[in-house]
Amino acid sequence: MSNQEIVLSVKNIEVIYDHVILVLKGVSLDVPKGGIVALLGANGAGKTTTIKSISNILGTERGEVTKGSIEFLGERVESLGSNELVKRGVVQVMEGRHCFEHLTVEENLLTGAYTRRATRKEVHDDLELVYGYFPRLKERRRSQAGYTSGGEQQMIAVGRALMAKPSVILLDEPSMGLAPQLVEEIFQIVKALNEKEGVTFLLAEQNTTVALRYATYGYILESGRVVMDGDAAMLAENEDVKEFYLGMSGGDRKSFRDVKHYRRRKRWLA
């Protein structure tokens, strides 16, 4: 990773909710230009919090980055407003889609271009670009987003982010609640956007199998700390990752007691 240009760099951040709940206990990660970096971990590991602290919308949930720094293109951004960050090209796609239900599909996409000072023509071209990646959205452009399916809503959310012409998309849990086939479809589009549009991705995912297949690099979070990181291929081969995240434990059936023992030990060490 050392020879690549780092666009987004999170340095040892600590996040506290409500002044008392310590959620991130020093998370550091680097996102190289043009990469797809996966942020892996179980429920409550701190994936979403990490993403939200980058996009700076923690304030609405009474969360606060209390230590460390976040740099985008070498500039510190943790005290910028979320709208300023979108203007600079870092856009978040929230977990659980969060479409604007009462707006039509097309209006949803148009809100994505809110921060841009683009001409009507430019916006129109970008709409067509998004429809090129998501043909299904074009068919449903006039229907209310609230009545579209889960997969379509995820497409709206990603398409909406694209409308901001971002250089980095923070994609939170794109597979949530989607059928395996759709998950694959969404990830393929992520890959295509990465290669053709040059968009850098930081994606938080519980579905480790799929994420490691598409990502270039991965970080594994456990209770607010990075416990392991490395190239995606390397992580996929790692014994611990295989056992705890990929559900593979080398053929033989293992006694449940051993697993518990191992986990307990690990927790104490962490």
| Shortest distance (Å) from residue 133 CB to other proteins | 18
| Shortest distance (Å) from residue 256 CB to other proteins | 36
CB 4 within 8 A of CB 26: no
Closest CA to 37 of 181, 224, 266, 211: 211
Q: Which of 67, 76, 102, 196 binds other proteins (CB under 8 A)?
A: 102
Q: Which of 9, 69, 111, 206 binds other proteins (CB under 8 A)?
A: 111
Binding segment for other proteins (CB under 8 A), chosen from 31-39, 85-93, 182-190, 214-222, is 85-93
Which residues, 6+ apart, have CB-to-CB distance to 67 below 8 Å?
A: 12, 13, 14, 26
d(CA 158, CA 130): 9
CB 175 within 8 A of CB 207: yes
The verdict on 59 binding other proteins (CB under 8 A) reads: yes
Binding segment for other proteins (CB under 8 A), chosen from 3-11, 29-37, 95-103, 132-140, is 95-103
Closest CA to 40 of 266, 242, 229: 229
| Shortest distance (Å) from residue 40 CB to other proteins | 22
Determine the residue type at 81: G
The verdict on 83 binding other proteins (CB under 8 A) reads: yes
The verdict on 124 binding other proteins (CB under 8 A) reads: no
**What are the CA-CA distances from residue 58 to residues 55, 61, 207, 211, 233 (Å)?**
8, 5, 24, 25, 32
**What are the CA-CA distances from residue 134 to residues 97, 124, 185, 189, 257 (Å)?**
15, 15, 10, 9, 48
Residues 163-222 that bind other proteins (CB under 8 A): 164
Query: Terminal CA-to-CA distance of the chain, rounded, Å?
Result: 25
Binding segment for other proteins (CB under 8 A), chosen from 16-24, 160-168, 235-243, 255-263, is 160-168
| Shortest distance (Å) from residue 257 CB to other proteins | 41
| Shortest distance (Å) from residue 100 CB to other proteins | 4
* Size of the chain in residues: 270
| Shortest distance (Å) from residue 246 CB to other proteins | 30
Q: Residue 216 gets which letter from DSSP?
A: S
Q: Which of 24, 160, 189, 210 binds other proteins (CB under 8 A)?
A: 160
The verdict on 159 binding other proteins (CB under 8 A) reads: no
Total residues in contact with other proteins, by rule CB under 8 A: 35
Residues near other proteins (CB under 8 A): 55, 57, 59-62, 81-83, 85-87, 91-94, 98-103, 107, 110-112, 114-115, 144, 146-147, 150, 160-161, 164
